[in-house]
Every structure is written in structure tokens, then in C-alpha cells.
Structure 1
Amino acid sequence: MATPTLDKADSAGQPEAGFADTPYITATFRIRRFNPEVSADAVWEDFQLEIDPKERVLDALHKIKWDQDGTLTFRRSCAHGICGSDAMRINGKNRLACKTLIKDINPEKPITVEAIKGLTVLKDLVVDMDPFFQAYRDVMPFLITKDTNEPTRERLQSAEDRERFDDTTKCILCAACTSSCPVFWNDGQYFGPAAIVNAHRFIFDSRDEAGEQRLEILNDKDGVWRCRTTFNCTDACPRGIEVTKAIQEVKRALITRRF
């Protein structure tokens, strides 16, 4: 966390060289609260903070929980954009709270924070991730080969073959893409972008031998054909994955059976 720089005046009352004004600003965080033990309805609650705008939204949520309201509930773990656990809607856009600087989201106005859409809210900013992870498990996100024996050496792969699916290896399962998808909002049975991205990662892996099986899973009525190519998923991905492109490549593989 940033440490405030204190003013220090000389005998004439002027700030001494090397000492600047405090960088802190007053920011308002408008958080959508939901506690099923208290009410069936969600409400918006404002919190004001003195905070350095170079800090992150996650830092602000920590300050609120530790200093103002210990009942505020949200997920976080590594705080470095790797675990994917703190995905939420900030100013109406899916983001990772640990990667979003306050200065980048116009702190002069109230900053809205709410749970991601399309998944049942359990409390405050925490949603039920079970349907998301079930779709992930359904596409068999692991290497499958016909050889039942353990390999005696590495399964070698050329740099070109590895590059073919490099982009989709970056997924951190934060659900930002899936919960930004309007199809998923309206029909939770849709596999969703993240599941398709993780299927893509193995469909196009030259070492894997279950590509046809995964394609048939995604050929289902709730599979890849439900995508409407709105690019919401690509815009929402905090890792910069070209999600829509990956989905189109899976569609093409289903038509051509070439992968």
C-alpha cells in the first residue's frame, strides 16, 4: 500500500523541498449489498474512504471491511491477478479488483461495485461458482491419450504446435468472460466462454487425442453454437485472451473436423 507523504513546513511556513502534499483523495464506493439472512432484496450502500488513487479497488474493499464494516463479503486470494477469485463488476464492467487502479475508474464520481452477473449471489460480492466449474469439468480440461500406460519419456511438442493454443492457456477461471455474456445471463445452461476456451486449449493440443469427443460435447444445443459473437467476453478478459476468436475456431473445427 502507498504511504501518505506528510507536509513539513519551514520557519516561514512554506513546505520544505522534497515534501509534497498528501496524495490521498476522498472516494465514494457504492457497493451492492445482499444478505439473505436479513432481506431478500439487494441494496446499495455508500462508503467514503481517504485513499491514494494509485491503490487498487481491492485495497479499498480491504479498508472498508477492516475499518468500517466487517460484514462486507468478497473473495480474494493472491491479489496479483493470477488466482482469478476477485472478479466483480466495477463501474458496470467485469474486472479483477486486484488489477483495477482507483485512478483509472474516475474516482471523482461514486465507484460502483457489485457481484458478477449470471450466477446466483450468495452474499454481497460472492456468487455461486458451481455451475461455472461444472461447465469447465464437462469439457474434460485435461490431456487425454489412448495409451493406458504411463509414458516413459516426455511427450515432445514443437514450438509451432505449442503456439497454436498458447493464447487459451492463459485462462485463470475468473469467470469474467462467462459472466459478461448476455446468452449466459439469459440461459445458465450455456457452457459459456470460459469452458469453450479451456476446451480449445486441449482440442488444438497436438499431444491430445480426445479432440473429437470434446467437439461433440460442444456441438450440443447448449454448446458453442449459442455464441452470438458480441465480443463481451474478449473485452472482459483480464488476461487479454482473444476469447471470441477461440470460440470461432472451435466452430470452424466442428464444421471442417480439422484441428
Structure 2
Amino acid sequence: MQANLKVKRFDPADEGGKTWWQEYKVDVHPDSTVLDSLIHIREQEDGTLALRCACRASICGSCGMKVNGDAKLVCKTRVDDIAPNGEQLVIEPMGNQHVVRDLVVSLDTFFSQIKRVDPFLQPNHVPEQGEYIASNDSMENLLTSMNCIMCGCCVSDCTVLEVDANFIGPAALAKAWRFTEDPRDSKRDERLKVLNDEAGGMWDCTRCMKCVEVCPKGVAPMDRIMELRESAIEAGNTNTPGYHHTESFYNSVKKNGRLDETRLAMDSAGWTNIPRLLDLVPIGIAAMRKGKLPPLIPHKSKDHKKVKDLYENVEGESS
């Protein structure tokens, strides 16, 4: 079969570091992967094409790239699965990371995010003999997060990192969860407090689910971030805009059957936090000019009692 690839190129040696698109058509075996096609191009047609790969078995995480807009490990992405009729494949370097050349990105940003969460065990004592061994039962819930191969696909497609470079990122937060839940670690409360209070921490995730969609190993970073939030709340870390936001959202829908957007903004900022409240004024003025300002007194849904009953049923089941 023929693979039609449109590859985004970048050469830092060119004046201004320009980017351009280059198209290739190569004959490949029906079982070939996108990586097989790229290697064929590099080895047989265009030796200037730069890409990174190693194991070719979705173990090392080296070959993360964007294929048709989504981050993937190209060593496990078969051409026939995504382009069975010879459709063009658009190949780009991963997002939210500095491009070194062509499809190769620097992972400095990725690993600096990982370092921010202290990704190592901090036990409170040293065993008298041998290792500090945890039981199988206590480690079973960590298996998902331990499958992470540090490929960076989740960071590549994170929509928060596109607009906020200070966000710790889904990979680092999933790694942080792995250590907060490890029974051998003695810094659980300290970790949760830092991630709860820190700018760019657990509350900056917008739950877009992109990291869940693109993770090649099923780590589901967003789910791990939600569990971090639950653990932080259970540990008493409730004086933050993130917690106030979730509490206001929950109570608003329970009371009115719909979201009170005005109160949500005020509760999230904090009623006594004057600087944060003043930051909302320009947003409110802009919304008013566009006719988008929510009502000061919220309207209740006609089925708000049914919504409240649903809340109470769920709360009763979980209590």
C-alpha cells in the first residue's frame, strides 16, 4: 500500500528558523507503522529528515509525534488503521515543547515539570534489613500510573499548557499522585498541600480529557488529577480558589437546577479577596457590553426539584 505523508519541517540553521511542509509518498507493507514510513523516508529518500525513535515497541516513549492533530507513539500507529484508503497523514512534532529540528522536540520542559513534584519516595525511616517492601494489595491501585513511559504525549496535547506555561502538566501531576498514594512515602500531606496551594497546580486542570485520549498506556492523567483533588480536600486543604469553585458549582446546581455563573465567579475569587474580585470587573463590563452578563439573581430550572432529588439520592448512596 502507499502511505501519503505531509510532514512539518523545521531547520534552526535557516535564517529566522522557518518552518515548511513537505509531502512524501512511499510504498509500505500493509502492517507498517507510521514510524516505519518515516524511517523509510529518512533512510531511502530524504536523509535530512530528523526524527527520534528507539525501541520501536511502544516501550521507550521516544517516538511521540502528532498524527492528524493528535499526539501518538508512531511506532504503534499502523498506517492502515488511520489511512486505509490512502488518505494523507499530517505529521507534526509534539506540541507545548521546543522544537529542535523537524519532528524532534526538546524534553527539557517535560522533565522540569516532573522535577517540580519531587518524583521519588521520601520514607520516614530506613528498614533495619533489606528493602522497604510494600504489600501487593497496597500497590495495586498504583499500577495504572506506574505504566507511564514518559513519552510526553499528554503534555503535547494539554490545552492548559497552550495558554499557561506555569501549569505543572498532566504527566507530572499523575506522577505526583503515584507518590502520594504510595504507602512507603511519609510526605503525603506535604505533597498535597504544595500541589493544592501552588500556582499551576492540581486545580488548573480544565478536565478537557485530551491527556486521557492520547495516553498510549492508559494512565489517564486527568483521572489521577481528580483523585489528587479529592485527597487534598479530604486532608483539609479547602481554602483555595479551586476548592471554592467546585463547592460553588456543586451547591449552585443542587439549589437551582442550573449554574449560577455570577456567584460561581465570586465564590471562586473569594468574597473577602478584594484584588481578585477587582480582576473580575473588566470581564463583567465586557460581558455586559456584549449582552452576555449573567443575571444577578439566578433563574431556577423548572425541574430544579428533580435535580435536588437526584443529588440527595447520590449523596445517600455515598454516605
TM-score (norm 1): 0.86
Tell me what 2:118 maps to: 140
Tell me what 2:182 maps to: 205
* Identity among equivalent pairs (%): 34
Deviation digits for residues 39-92 of structure 1 (CA, Å, limit 9, x no counterpart): 422111001101112111111111000011111111111111111111000111
Matched, 1:161 2:138: yes
Helix, strand or coil: the match of 1:46? Answer: strand
Give the counterpart letter for 1:29 in structure 2.
L
Matched, 1:229 2:199: no
Deviation digits for residues 80-125 of structure 1 (CA, Å, limit 9, x no counterpart): 1111111000111110011101101115111111001111111101
Return 5+ residue gaps in structure 1 as ranges: 1-24
Tell me what 1:38 maps to: 14
Contact 1:91-1:105 within 8 A present in 2 as well: no
Map 1:231-250 → 2, pairs under 5 A:
231-250=209-228
Contact 1:181-1:233 within 8 A present in 2 as well: yes
Distance 1:77 1:116 in 2: 17
Tell me what 2:296 maps to: none
Tell me what 1:13 maps to: none
Contact 2:177-2:228 within 8 A present in 1 as well: yes
Distance 1:122 1:218 in 2: 31
Moved runs in structure 1, 4+ residues, more than 3 A? Answer: none
Matched, 1:183 2:146: no
Distance 2:88 2:220 in 1: 31
Map 1:93-108 → 2, pairs under 5 A:
93-107=70-84, 108=86
Aligned-residue CA RMSD (Å): 1.4
Map 1:78-97 → 2, pairs under 5 A:
78-97=55-74
Contact 1:118-1:186 within 8 A present in 2 as well: no
Structure of higher CA gyration radius: 2
Matched, 1:73 2:63: no
Tell me what 1:4 maps to: none
Tell me what 1:218 maps to: 195
Give the counterpart letter for 1:26 in structure 2.
Q
Say how many residue pairs are matched.
Answer: 233
Helix, strand or coil: the match of 1:47? Answer: strand
Contact 2:3-2:37 within 8 A present in 1 as well: no
Contact 2:166-2:199 within 8 A present in 1 as well: no
Gap change, CA 1:209 and 1:62, over 3 Å in 2: same
Return 5+ residue gaps in structure 2 as ranges: 237-319
Query: If each structure's helix is expressed as a fraction of its own residues, which one has the higher value?
Result: 2
Which of 43, 53, 62 pairs up with 2:39? 62
Matched, 1:116 2:94: yes
Higher mean Cα deviation, 158-167 or 41-50?
Answer: 158-167
Tell me what 2:103 maps to: 125
Distance 1:151 1:138 in 2: 31
Higher relative contact order (CA 8 A, sep 6+): 1
Contact 2:212-2:220 within 8 A present in 1 as well: yes
Distance 1:63 1:106 in 2: 18
Shift of 1:224: 0.8
Helix, strand or coil: the match of 1:133? Answer: helix
Contact 1:190-1:226 within 8 A present in 2 as well: yes
Shift of 1:167: 0.9
Distance 1:95 1:230 in 2: 17
Contact 2:117-2:176 within 8 A present in 1 as well: yes
Shift of 1:151: 4.7
